[in-house]
Structure 1
Amino acid sequence: MLKSERLRNILQAVKMQKFVTVDELAKALDVSNMTIRRDLNELSDSGKISRIHGGAQLVTDQARGEKSYKQKREIHGKEKIEIAKRACNLIHERDSIYVGPGTTLELLVAHLKVKHLRIITNSLPVFEAAKNNMNDYDLILVGGSYRRISGAFVGALANNELQTMSFSVGFVGVNGIKDTALTTANLEEGQTESIGLDHSQMKFVVADYSKLNQSDFHKFYDLRKVDGLITNREVKPDVEKHYSQFTTVYK
């Protein structure tokens, strides 16, 4: 099979299945895994697919439009500070907390007042914000493949590290919440966040009102499995009532 034909077949498979693995493609096209990885890298470099650990996923309109963490810092700043301060009240002395990537979560660790904490994160911006907090916290930055657009470390290395840990409290951000679905733009980032939540005794999602009734490409967690949704006072009463069916709403 010619390379050009192979690339067309790979692209068609990704479009049909949304996500495919290297092993699946290698078996279907009767070539080596190394050949498939080279093909996926070529398609990713041309912007036709999104390359992730172990395979590839479809580049959606949402993924193309994914804002960087620097851009997100400029959006709903007042609301994010309000949410961050509210989340701080759920953290106690000597807790070990998992903090996922997200600009609201950067503000959370920046506003922490408790003196003694262990903070574990796979987000470089969150780590930097925690490092700059006046309190001398025990900080752990989980490594892995670096997503420059979000500042997060993801993939097998990050996941394996998190699976060996346990946390008093876990916090994650989202790109959108639609009914019970917590969603994000990137499958790998969502997988890592879901592990952080699964290993937390108490689980919280932070989201300003603009994220509610919105969805993105990848559902990574069920709202019914978290202990609370932390949002801001501007959320409409009917929206608050809807999400209160699934978890406790803090506003």
Structure 2
Amino acid sequence: MQNGFDMAAVRFFAGLNGHRGLDDVFVYGLHYNTVQTLPIAMIAFAMWLTAPRDGRRSDIIMTGFIAAIVVVALAMASKLFLPARPRPAALGLYPFTRQDFPFDWSSLPSDTLAILSAFTAAMWTAERRWGIVGIAMCVLVAIAKMFAGYHYPTDILIGAGLGVATFTGLWRFPDIGHRANRIVALAYRRAPVAITAALAFVAVSFGTLFADQRVLVKYMLGKESISGEAPRVTAAAGSRAVVQMLP
């Protein structure tokens, strides 16, 4: 499933590994899900919370939340049921700074970029300045994913395309977001604390890429133990990658 374009990018980013300043930013600083997705999810949540309940902006942001949930489901289904694509660092062809990383998910597509792109498309449609913030975050995260050996460029492009296409498709039928927004707005008026807490929980779940929920779903499908222990890959010194179970 590799091609010349992807492998050229893998070789390029692997060659940048080992520089402390770059590693600090792209391998470690931008590696964590709460840094990658939580800020954008919380901005979207704040945009909905501060918008008039019956206004166009709140409809758009609600559509963005729906689109993000849809792409999470689509990305998870593809990783569970389509042929697995090993992550670039798992190939063992080039050295990467991170020698341990999750191996229980296929690299295709990038679910992180799918989520970020769905939110960014909604934010861009609602308010350009926040859309620009989302685009900047998408670019930084895309670089970090490739830098750390987690994804190929095509994983990134497909994930981003999936997010934008899902939001665009849903927004072509604005009644979807409008009706969902009315239901949530009605519930918010009746129980503002409970609904705010529920929406905040959803936003934070996006920030962790639904890690706990994934473990539960995979367990229910017989894909993984309920303990959450997952196969990981450790790159053997100077050669091939080995699959092992970490304690």
Give TM-score, length-normalised by structure 2: 0.27
Of the two structures, which has the highest relative contact order with CA contacts closer than 8 Å and spacing of 6 or more? 2
